A and B are shown apart, each in its own frame.
Chain A
């Protein structure tokens, strides 16, 4: 049941518990307990909304920044990662195998705001060796959802 709950709410976190229970053929109490345990154990980390900001009048600039760093003795990359992820404008930080070490996803109000963050805050950290900033021009698909893809139902309405 755990896996099925996760698959459903990963796509629709707004579904209510009674409906979830009906769909899974389980009792509401069991589903509620399972959700609670998933939240407490940190498997479920939050319930977010996927927003296509491009369709609003609110300006947003997103960037992906490759960061090369010097790992610190005894701490590896964790401590430098923490210094970076604590900035609220940072959306995500991943440790990466390959050509660089950390991938930082960033969201700002403007190009200037993002570049200021990179030049003033990120590059000045002691352990940061270099950065390469990629501005995102268009989001086609995010979190498994194709943005801007309301497809009409073109099936024959009645068919044997």
Chain B
């Protein structure tokens, strides 16, 4: 029989988290600091709107681009929050989560052999999506000493005459790093000088804990015409299971993305789209409350890591913190595996997000303070033991 499998797909490494997931699933009593989604339920008024849409029998496809009312609300929201201006008619596409947008944007922009620059550590899907789109991924290993921000020098060094797209994964999963306006201005200069495009994954934009708040690179002069902004409802409104995101950008690119979306997906889930309209219209207070809760936990973890002498830069975004475990002389994977076996706490090794995550752990604070206390208590016991072993 012929081999039924595509060589290109086989060539893609499975997510580094997968292996870990299998171990954890055999340990039902393990607790976790490894989740990648909010601990809050979707606010009731948003769920209620989804239920209402079902009761009203709104169970049909929407237009390929998504409900016009939702696209208009997204434009209002992006304008109000991040000073971005898009036309709801041809610059917004409603997607199945942010992930679909990433995939389609790359497929719409890449010709074979084009290079896509991916700063890492970062979300696991950029590299495989780039490969599936026929691009050559070019990795920039972000540095702890820069608080895992991308610098203009690093970007310049990675650009070749084949570079087509730069992925900007900020606020960052897994490090929690953000790019402030001053940092983005430097990046934008290099991007414009070299005539490349930006795919800016801003799914965690609401979860930003700086005074300045989130700044979208597309809001800088000369950038809107060369940036695709990816965002969505999962993290901001605690709506991960609704699978709803959106992509905004130049209409020429959005038109091609819409074509792929039309053939591959048809349209994003209708119920979720109705719920999302409610989220944008009346969800500001919910977001504010959740952001405040995350920020309190963030401060708490920073404090306890300091007490434990566990080196960690201050993250200003998302709901992750990225402590350094290099002092224990094991790989992130070994550390996480031993911690899970010995203390029954799951954390994600930094290497799941790229080689530059070696020596770090991703710890999620999408948990109540009480749950965090229990898990961090066990981390402290574990670290104390490792240090004692080392001292012997």
Contacts and interface: CB of A to CB of B under 8 A. Distances in A.
A23 B299 contact: yes
A160 B17 contact: yes
A92 interface: no
Interface stretch (A72-80, A112-120, A129-137, A149-157): A149-157
A156 B29 CA distance: 13
B32 A157 contact: yes
Contacts of B25: 157
Contact of A160 (B32, B36, B297): B36
A24 interface: yes
A22 B300 contact: yes
Interface string A7-23: 11000000000010011
Given A4-B292, A155-B35, A155-B37, A160 B300 contact: no
A24 B123 contact: no
B61 interface: no
28 contacts: A4-B292, A7-B292, A8-B296, A22-B300, A22-B303, A24-B296, A24-B299, A153-B39, A155-B39, A156-B21, A156-B35, A157-B24, A157-B25, A157-B30, A157-B34, A157-B35, A158-B20, A158-B32, A158-B34, A158-B346, A159-B34, A159-B36, A160-B15, A160-B17, A160-B36, A160-B124, A160-B173, A160-B353
Contacts of B123: 160
Interface in B104-149: 123-125
> Which 4 A-B pairs have CB atoms at the shortest separation, nearest pair first?
A158-B34, A23-B296, A159-B36, A157-B32
A49 to B, nearest CB: 16
A7 B20 CA distance: 38
A159 B17 contact: yes
B35 A159 contact: yes
A25 interface: yes
Q: What range describes how many residues of B lie at the interface? A: 20 to 34
A158 B17 contact: yes
Interface in A1-43: 4, 7-8, 19, 22-25
Contacts of B348: 158, 160
Contacts of B24: 157-158
Given A22-B303, A157-B346, A159-B17, 20 more contacts: A19-B300, A22-B300, A23-B296, A23-B297, A24-B296, A24-B299, A156-B21, A156-B35, A156-B36, A156-B37, A157-B25, A157-B30, A158-B17, A158-B34, A158-B346, A158-B348, A159-B21, A160-B17, A160-B123, A160-B353
Interface in A75-123: none
Contacts of B303: 22
Contact of B37 (A7, A25, A159): A159
Nearest to B31: A157
Interface in B6-47: 15, 17, 20-21, 24-25, 30, 32, 34-37, 39
B318 to A, nearest CB: 12
A158 B35 contact: yes
A132 B78 CA distance: 53
Interface string B331-353: 00000000000000010100011
Most chain A C-beta atoms within 10 Å of own C-beta, residue among B15, B20, B32, B300: B32
Contacts of B369: 23
A141 to B, nearest CB: 12
A71 B348 CA distance: 67
Interface string B273-315: 0000000000000000000100011011001000000000000
A110 to B, nearest CB: 36
Contacts of B32: 157-158
Contacts of B37: 155-156, 159
Nearest to B32: A157
Contacts of A158: 17, 20-21, 24, 32, 34-35, 346, 348
Contacts of A25: 299
A59 B35 CA distance: 43
Nearest to B367: A153
A5 B233 CA distance: 29
B371 to A, nearest CB: 8
A150 to B, nearest CB: 12
A80 B40 CA distance: 45
Nearest to B21: A158
Contacts of B297: 23
